[in-house]
Every structure is written in C-alpha cells, then in structure tokens.
Amino acid sequence: MWTQIVGKTRMLLAPMENHWWNATLYVTPNGLTTSAIPYGSLTFEIEFDWIAHQLSVRTSGGVDHRFGLYPRSVADFYREYFACLKSLGIEARINRKPMEFPDTTPFDEDQHHASYDKASVETFRQILIQADRALKVFRGRFIGKCSPVHFFWGSFDLAVTRFSGRRAPERPGADAATREAYSHEVSSCGFWPGDRNFRQPAFYAYSAPSPAGLDREPVSPGSWNTQLGEFILTYDEVREKPSPEALIVNFCQTTYEAGAKLAHWDRAALERPDPSPALASTSRLPGQLT
C-alpha cells in the first residue's frame, strides 16, 4: 500500500507517458525510486530506502526529508507522507483507493494493514536487484520499442515489455487504464513475488494478444501455467542453480521467441544481430521470500 501511495503521486504529477510508464518505480541499490518528478520550478524524487528503512523525499533545492519505515498502519504512513510533501511545498491529491487489490479501503482509513517485516523487505530488495540486472541484459538484445525495466506497484511486479510496432485489437469491456496499457502488441516478462492466489514467487512471461497455440510452445526453462495463462519459472527453480542469471535471460528469450514466432513479428528488424552481452557470474540468488 505504501508503494501505491508513492506511485500514485508520480502518476499524478509526472507528464503522461505511453502505457502508463509515468506511474512506475525503478530499482536502486537501496530499494525503489520514482526518479525525478517535475513540480513547478523544482524537481523531487521519492525513494524507498530498504537499507536504512526510511522513505526519502529529495528536492532539487537540496532538501532531503526522511522518515522511518517500521510496523505502522497504512493510514499512519499516509498522514506522515503527505505532511512531509506539504512541508516541502508539494501538493498532490491522489485517488485514495488501492488499485488491483481486493481490499479497497481508502489509504487514510486503513488501520488493519500495519505490518513491516524487515528481513522480508531486505530479501525482496536483493531479489529485485538481481532480477533487474537479468532483465536489463534481456532488454539490451532488442532494438525495437521497449519499456524500461520498471516496477508496477498495482500488480507489484518488476517487468520489461517489448513491442512489435503493431496496434492490438481493443479488449472488449476494457477500462481506460487497460486500453492504454495494451494498445499495441506486446511480449512481456518479469518477476512477481506472488499473491494470495498464487503463493510462489516466480518469473513470468506472456504475449498480448496471446497467439493461438502459445500454451503448447516448448520453452526452456519454465512451463505454461494454465491457472495464470502465462509462462512461469518459479524462483525456487532458479535461485540455487550455478548460473541463475543465465537461466532467467534464457526464460525471457525463449518465451519471447515462442510468442513472436506465432504472432509473426518482424524479428529481423527488431532484434540485435549478436544478442550476447556478458552475464554476471552469480552462484545463487538471495533466499526465499516468506
């Protein structure tokens, strides 16, 4: 919920970008950041610092306002966060209801979500750093339109998305946010820590629209998950292998190739002739999320 509050601030104040890229967060050595947000004659940046366990709001005027991250309610965080922004002269009126989450209690009324497990947060930070690096290697193999590697606070996943360059058919009954997100053909992959319905952290990949027969395409590593309707490579399958980063990149590559082949993407025009940047040697990934 805290990342939603911060993410909605960026979505409100940053200039609109295609597919809602103006709403996402980015991995840093310390956690997640909004990157620079313009506001009047200044810019400011908000970072979740999961080493110091603080939220930092920095401005181009040289101010760095911080407050602690610890077990506290969403409502308590909301109040201190907006008091911090106000003290810096920043006004933002966000939609107070969570997105892509079954509990839609407004942030300023949410007293029942109040946990903060430092050990899990620190493990999650380390996983995001490793996943971000692997996804950036994969991203570098593509010369067509491609998103940054960025964190979506609604679905709580780190993702990178490739585009064929062709418009996609409009999804029946789609809301405005979904229409913008999937206005063009995409192939997307990323890392997701799971949720109440799928409790395993995993790397995932999908194509949208999904071409017929995608579920029967062989990929390596990973497999098709009927429940989710996408390819899945669980974190446990990767983390203790000798070359986990290479496995992640191969998962992204083979699942992309499966969708691009069936959807007839112009791969010769979209891909680098020699997609072979060096991969870091990593003996294992951080421990399991709890």
Beta-carbon contacts of 56 under 8 Å, excluding residues fewer than 6 positions away, are 46, 47, 49, 64, 65, 66
User: What are the helix and strand counts (H, E) for the chain?
Assistant: 7, 12
d(CA 67, CA 193): 26
pLDDT for the residue 275: 60
Average pLDDT (186-211) is 96
pLDDT for the residue 273: 82
**Whether the predicted pLDDT of 278 surpasses 90:** no
pLDDT for the residue 284: 67
pLDDT in tens, 139-161: 999 999 999 999 999 999 999 99
pLDDT for the residue 287: 73
pLDDT in tens, 50-90: 999 999 999 999 999 999 999 999 999 999 999 999 999 99
Beta-carbon contacts of 133 under 8 Å, excluding residues fewer than 6 positions away, are 245, 280
d(CA 104, CA 255): 34
pLDDT in tens, 186-197: 999 999 999 988
pLDDT for the residue 182: 92
